[in-house]
Amino acid sequence: MERSAPQSLANFLTAEAQAIADRCTKCGQCVSVCPVIPYGAAVNTPSGQVVGGIVDFLGGQEQLDPASDTWASTCNGCGLCIPVCPEEINPRKMLALASARSASRGSKTPELFRRMSRAIKVMAAMQLIPEEFRRVFVPPRKRRAPIVFYLGCNALRTPHLLFNSMAVLDALDADYEVVGGPSSCCGVIATKWEGEISTGERVTANAIDRFEGFSPERVLNWCPTCQLHLGETLEGYRKTSYDFDHLTEYLVSRIDELRKKFVIPIARRVIVHAHVGRADICRNVDLLLRAIPGLEIIETVFESGYTCGGSGCSKSPELAAQEHNELLARADATGADILVTLYHGCHAVFIGAEAQGKFRVLNYTDLLVEALGGVPHADRLKEFRLLDDWRMIAEEGRPYLQANGLDIDPEWLKQHGPAIFASLEFKGQLDCFEKGHAHANPA
């Protein structure tokens, strides 16, 4: 984000799209290496024709042809296309721009942000005490802070990972403020999923302005989707005064200090889940885990995509299921004690596997906190998943909901809780939050 902001986000996106359309030769190499192609309507279409449809659409053609539309809508963000482009275009960004333009002509997930923000609030309120709930939902007072820890939105579904991360920052005596939740969304939902570009502009500007309010040197991000949206798709959109990094980049920069603070050996054999889409972050996690005394990394299994979940590998569900099964099989075959997850979406996908009793499922932040001599934050999402009884989940969650100001009928929660916790709004569902439904607005 080095150039000055254009007149509008719409103008910026149009200019970026046209620049790609002007440079692309439609050679099709990006399509040829794409892992999702065999699982969609583009499988029998010449690769040059598939990318050509995207390029023509970005250049002004009114409609996407079916094969090109399928490619754009099932892109899992793996980024394998980036190094093979002879014109040094970023095809992952090209498809993000095509998705935003397509959504502006008719979103497949209308009202996604409304439904998502309400689902997040319910899920977080069921897992956090009021003090914690306020910390991740209420914007802090502005002050000068060298670091902003940016949570994004969806990570609040698995809040224990965020509080683990804060415990590590606290152990390093980092001076930081926390910004996150739907009120500080990066804007990707409005821009890419709903096609509401003007709304996306306001949302993105609000998040960046909130960061700038602390005059930080660095904004440390947790969410990989925010990382791609603000750091890749919108690169150059606004001039900012801070460096935008992933949390792990900062932790690795202070790894020598962490090694001295890792006072509890963890004599466990682990298999690590990773994604090729942001291999740099996966390398950071590997370095952090290898700094923990006693911990043995048996294997790191890379899946395609840049994250698990609705905006990542779940966009190609058949491929995702295949890769997930292969990972679980490797964890079983190697006799690993722990399957280590990467992001919040990944953790939500795999925690249920612990029910098999063969290995534990922990996030890397759990291990960092344990090695520091602390107690990892309670993973109530895993507790709920393993409980697998929505009558009991509703009963256990209700005191937390009430303490956080949400008075939700237990019968409504029993009925709709499974869909809420499965993030089905990304599949165009979850109309339980719409008008006419009880407790549609858990404010």
Q: For residue range 179-206, list pLDDT tens digits in order.
A: 999 999 999 999 999 999 999 999 999 9
Q: Taking Cα atoms as reference points, which of 214, 204, 211 lies closest to residue 244?
A: 211
Contact by Cβ (8 Å): 268, 274: no
437 φ, ψ to 5°?
-105, 140
Q: Let me know the angle formed at the C-alpha of 338 by 332 and 344, rounded to the nearest 5 degrees.
A: 110
pLDDT score of 312:
86
Average pLDDT of the chain to the nearest whole number: 94
pLDDT score of 443:
52
pLDDT score of 5:
47
| Single-letter amino acid, residue 148 | V
Query: Would you list the DSSP string of 203-250?
Result: HHHHHHHHHHTT--SEEEE--HHHHHIIIIITTTSS--SSEEEEHHHH
319 φ, ψ to 5°?
-65, -40
For the ranges 131-135, 310-314, 432-436, the lowest mean pLDDT is seen at 432-436
> 70 pLDDT exceeds 90?
yes
Length of the chain: 443
What mean pLDDT comes out for the span 59-63? 90
For the segment 419-428, what is each residue's pLDDT rounded down to a tens digit?
999 998 888 8
**Alpha-carbon gap, residue 247 to 252, rounded angstroms:** 9
**Alpha-carbon gap, residue 156 to 163, rounded angstroms:** 10
> 48 pLDDT exceeds 70?
yes
pLDDT score of 108:
84
**Alpha-carbon gap, residue 331 to 339, rounded angstroms:** 7
> 377 pLDDT exceeds 50?
yes
pLDDT score of 4:
47
Q: Position of tokens 């980092």?
A: 174
| Single-letter amino acid, residue 103 | A
Contact by Cβ (8 Å): 246, 253: no
pLDDT score of 2:
45
**Alpha-carbon gap, residue 197 to 195, rounded angstroms:** 6
Instruction: Write down the H helix ranges in 24-129.
Output: 29-32, 47-58, 66-74, 91-103, 112-125
**Alpha-carbon gap, residue 26 to 32, rounded angstroms:** 12
Q: Let me know the angle formed at the C-alpha of 146 by 140 and 148, rounded to the nearest 5 degrees.
A: 45
> What is the token pair recorded at 22?
């002007």
pLDDT score of 439:
53
What's the pTM value of the predicted model, to 2 decimals?
0.94
For the segment 110-159, what is each residue's pLDDT rounded down to a tens digit?
889 999 999 999 999 999 999 999 999 999 999 999 999 999 999 999 99
Residue burial 276-310, b: 16+ Cβ < 10 Å; e: rest: bbbeebbebbbebbebbeebeebebbbbbbbbbbb
Instruction: Write down the H helix ranges in 262-358.
Output: 279-290, 317-333, 344-350
**Alpha-carbon gap, residue 68 to 40, rounded angstroms:** 10
Q: Let me know the angle formed at the C-alpha of 352 by 350 and 356, rounded to the nearest 5 degrees.
A: 110
With a pLDDT cut of 90, the percent of the chain lying above it is 89
> 346 pLDDT exceeds 70?
yes
For the segment 31-42, what is each residue's pLDDT rounded down to a tens digit?
999 999 999 889
What mean pLDDT comes out for the span 352-378? 97
For the segment 242-271, what is each residue's pLDDT rounded down to a tens digit?
999 999 999 999 999 999 999 999 999 999
What mean pLDDT comes out for the span 339-356? 96
For the segment 230-244, what is each residue's pLDDT rounded down to a tens digit?
999 999 999 999 999
Provide the CA 20 distance to its chain's centre, in angstroms.
26
With a pLDDT cut of 70, the percent of the chain lying above it is 96
**Alpha-carbon gap, residue 125 to 136, rounded angstroms:** 11
Q: Position of tokens 């920052």?
A: 169
> 66 pLDDT exceeds 70?
yes
**Cross-strand pairs, 363:** 341
Q: Let me know the angle formed at the C-alpha of 225 by 37 and 371, rounded to the nearest 5 degrees.
A: 115
